[in-house]
Amino acid sequence: MTSEIIVKAVDVSKRFGNFLALDKVNVEVKRGEVSCIIGPSGSGKSTFLRCINLLERMDGGAIWVSDELVGYRRDGNKLHEISDSEIARQRRRIGMVFQRFNLFPHMTALQNIMEGPVQVMGETTKAAREHAEMLLDRVGLGDKKNHYPSELSGGQQQRVAIARAMGMRPELILFDEPTSALDPELVSEVLDVMHDLASSGMTMIVVTHEMGFARNVANTVTFMEAGKVVETGLASKVLSTPKNARTAAFIQAVQS
């Protein structure tokens, strides 16, 4: 693992009306790292994740992805908001997997994966199809390529969604509670795919309540509460011997 920093968030703040969702959040993720963000609901984990690919606009602070400022262009002492098409270009490097899958229901599994590469990256249909078929095989759904999302189980849909994110050949994939909407018996098939992806060296930021996944796969764990980063560090340290009392209480609560 290199020590190249791929995501750097500095003092990121976000308000929804009077509610301070993020309060000067600082996070660093290195290339090839799996970083889990844990914390109680409403702690701002998902909001922070969504700031990284500009699904939310931050009110303060800044995020760099691969040394490129997200959402702004610096010009001397001024920050200019970038255009719709520049935002779209920045998002191409960042995959995202949603809690509710959000597959395109009018497209088959294969078409879901090919859509971005063909429409956005300008890949040929043939190349995109070959890559998409390879990805579907990799998530164990090679035989489901012509199925529509409505014909797939939740776990299968989420595996297609992971393949769709990988189809863009991203530098980084964000996971927003990827197993929270699944029936309990379907969680492990999705976690297995994520584990496999982590082993292949993909940089991943995962908002999750799956402590087992955090313990087994994550390199670093960040604990957030009330919009603040309470504790961050190596997964083994934070999960086994948390320094902060609230971190310890949360980990105790979700494991029992």
Q: Which residues bind another protein (CB under 8 A)?
A: 53-55, 84-85, 88-89, 91-92, 94-96, 98, 100, 102-108, 115-116, 119-121, 148-150, 164-165, 168
**CB-side neighbour CA atoms (13 Å) of 223:** 20
CB of 95 vs another protein, minimal distance in Å: 7
CB of 91 vs another protein, minimal distance in Å: 5
CB of 44 vs another protein, minimal distance in Å: 18
What one-character-per-residue DSSP string does 187-235 give? HHHHHHHHHHHHHTT-EEEEE-S-HHHHHHH-SEEEEEETTEEEEEEEH
6 or 239, CB closer to another protein? 6
163 or 239, CB closer to another protein? 163
128 or 239, CB closer to another protein? 128
CB of 255 vs another protein, minimal distance in Å: 30
105 or 184, CB closer to another protein? 105
CB of 99 vs another protein, minimal distance in Å: 9
151 or 183, CB closer to another protein? 151
